[in-house]
């Protein structure tokens, strides 16, 4: 499948008047087609079923390089899959996108794909840990968003428990950062953790909650009253 064919299929799914609304909501200066997310999901699923991993990597790179809003999201969706045999090329491509992140929607879809690769090979958290020291806010944020699977685990094995504590240490290091998106990511991680380990979430908030922004602290504690 060529880039032109893929973009043509995306453009065919655009809804009249939706592009302007999406561009405003997502604060996009890049081109926006106006494709609803469910339609993009169905389209990329159909692509995954007919393309080899090598073809998917090639198309994903081309879609990303087009710098069209939905094309970048489609590129991420194209590579979001739990089991990918010989996934080194997928992992390398996903890593290469991180410095380009500049929009939460694009970043979150890419982080979903990254999360699958981290679950497939947890040793890759060593790479993600380096992101926590980046000068690029979106890269720092990606470290937490891509590692969300460890917030959602039950009955952790020792290696997963160690990984969870490692990621919580990253979150603790982020607490002094006043950026809204960073604080939101901390709150998001803790909110998801609270559904699986309320005690550990409370311990984090006891230690660091006073230094978090109020909205992030509230987000983190959203489900604790029910725990």
SS (H, E, C) 78-116: HCCCCCCCCCHHHHHHHHHHHHHCCCHHHHHHHHHHHHH
* SS3 of residue 23 by DSSP: helix
pLDDT of residue 226: 55
Pair 11, 116 in one domain: yes
Pair 110, 197 in one domain: no
pLDDT of residue 225: 77
CA–CA dist 170, 175 (Å, integer): 9
Total tally of structural domains belonging to the chain? 2
CA–CA dist 86, 54 (Å, integer): 10
Q: Are 59 and 76 in contact (CB under 8 A)?
A: no
pLDDT of residue 101: 97
Residue 29 sits in a domain whose CATH number is 1.25.10.90
Pair 30, 70 in one domain: yes
How confident is the chain (227 residues) per 10-residue block, as mean pLDDT?
A: 96 95 92 95 96 97 97 97 94 98 97 98 98 98 98 95 98 97 98 97 97 97 79
Q: Are 176 and 204 in contact (CB under 8 A)?
A: no
Domain contains 130: no
Pair 75, 111 in one domain: yes
Domain contains 125: no
Pair 109, 177 in one domain: no
Range of the domain at 62: 1-120
Domain contains 131: no
Neighbour-count burial for 66-86, b at 16+ CB within 10 Å, e otherwise: bebbbbbbbbbbbbbbeebee
The gap between the terminal CA atoms of the chain, to the nearest Å, is: 49
pLDDT of residue 222: 94
Pair 90, 179 in one domain: no
Return the number of other C-beta atoms located less than 10 Å from residue 92's C-beta. 11
Q: Looking at the whole model, is its pTM more than 0.75?
A: yes
CA–CA dist 42, 74 (Å, integer): 10
Pair 76, 148 in one domain: no
* SS3 of residue 141 by DSSP: helix
Query: Rounded to an integer, what is the distance from CA 179 to the centroid of its chain?
Result: 18
Residue 35 — left, alpha, or beta (φ > 0 → left; ψ -120 to 50 → alpha)?
Answer: beta
């Amino acid at each position: 499948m060529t880039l032109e064919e893929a973009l043509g299929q995306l453009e065919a799914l655009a809804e009249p008047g939706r592009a302007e609304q999406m561009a405003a909501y997502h604060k996009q200066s890049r081109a926006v087609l106006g494709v609803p997310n469910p339609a993009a999901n169905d389209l990329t699923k159909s692509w995954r079923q007919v393309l080899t991993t090598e073809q998917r990597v090639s198309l994903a790179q081309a879609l990303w390089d087009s710098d069209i809003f939905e094309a970048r999201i489609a590129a991420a969706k194209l590579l979001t899959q739990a089991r990918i045999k010989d996934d080194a090329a997928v992992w390398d491509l996903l890593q290469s996108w991180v410095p380009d992140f500049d929009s939460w929607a694009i970043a979150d879809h890419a982080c979903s794909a990254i999360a699958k690769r981290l679950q497939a090979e947890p040793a890759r958290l060593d790479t993600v840990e380096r992101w926590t020291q980046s000068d690029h806010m979106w890269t720092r944020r990606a470290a937490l968003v891509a590692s969300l699977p460890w917030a959602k685990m039950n009955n952790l094995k020792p290696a997963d428990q160690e990984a969870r504590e490692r990621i919580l240490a990253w979150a603790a290091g982020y607490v002094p950062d006043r950026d809204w998106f960073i604080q939101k990511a901390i709150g998001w991680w803790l909110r998801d953790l609270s559904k699986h380990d309320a005690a550990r979430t409370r311990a984090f908030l006891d230690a660091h909650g006073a230094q978090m922004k109020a909205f992030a602290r509230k987000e983190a504690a959203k489900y604790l009253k029910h725990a």
